[in-house]
Amino acid sequence: MVFDLLINSLKNPKSFNYMQREQEKIVHYLTKLKLNLPNDILAKIKKEKYQKATYLVKAGQPVSKIWFLESGIAHLFYQKGSQKVTEAFAFPNEIFSVYTSLIRKSPSILSIQLLTNSVVWSMEWDYFQQISKSVPVAIDIERLLIACWIYNSLERSLNRFFTVEEQYLFLIKRQPKLIEQIPSVYIANYLGTTPETISRVRAKIKEGVDLPDVSPFEYIFIKRKK
C-alpha cells in the first residue's frame, strides 16, 4: 500500500530534501491517517503502471491529482518555443503535483512527463480535501506537503550561490543511481548551463569530488566560513 511505501521512505533522513523534522511529522500523520481511513476511501487511491514518455498532465490542462512515485522519474517542465525548460524532477518516494494550479483550480503552467517506465499512485485532490472534513489529520498532511513544495522552491532559488558542480552534486545526493538516466539537456537547463558543461562535471565527479552531507542552506554558511 502507498502509505507503507511513503512512511518507510520518509524515515530516510535525505527524503524531502533534508526536512527531517517535517518528515517525522508526516510519518506520524500518515500512520494515523492509514489507521483511520475506511476501505472505501483507500480504494480511491489508484496505482498505475506507465510507459516511458507518458504525460501525467500537459500545460494548459486542468490539474486534479496529487501523485506519489513508487518507481521511475518524472520531469516537470514548461515549454519555451521548441525547448523543454526544466522546473523540477520527481524521484521514487516523492509526492508531486502542480500545486499552484491545484490550489487556484487553474490550467497547469507545467507539463509532467515520465522519463522512464514508472509506477505511480494518485488521488484526486478534491477528494483528498473532502476526507479532511472527516479525517482532520489530512489537513496537516496537506499543509506539510505545501511546506515541502515551498522549501523545494526556495532551495532552487539558492542555485545562484553555488557553482554548477555544487548544484549537480546536490542533485546527485537526492537519487545518485537515477540522475544518470536523465538526459543532460534537461539537467543543463535546470541548472542554467549547457549539456557540455554537465558532461565535464560528470567526468570530474567520477574522480571523487563530493560535498558535505548537509542541506544547501547549511552549505551556504559553510562556504562563507571558508
Distance CA 18, CA 168 (A): 16
CATH architecture of 2-157: Sandwich (2.60)
Tell me the pLDDT tens digit for each residue of 52-74.
999 999 999 999 998 888 899 99
pTM of the predicted model, to two decimals? 0.77
Q: CATH 2.60.120.10 region(s) of the chain?
A: 2-157
Distance CA 211, CA 225 (A): 15
Average pLDDT over residues 154-164: 73
Report whether pLDDT(149) > 80: no
Backbone phi and psi for residue 189, each to the nearest 5 degrees, phi listed first: -75, -20
**187 pLDDT band (50/70/90 cuts)?**
very high
CA distances from 47 to 1, 44, 127 (A): 9, 10, 16
- pLDDT of res. 216: 58
In the numeric block, which cell numbers belong to residue 142? Answer: 496537506
162 CB neighbour count, 10 Å cutoff: 18
**214 pLDDT band (50/70/90 cuts)?**
low
Tell me the pLDDT tens digit for each residue of 13-24.
444 444 445 555
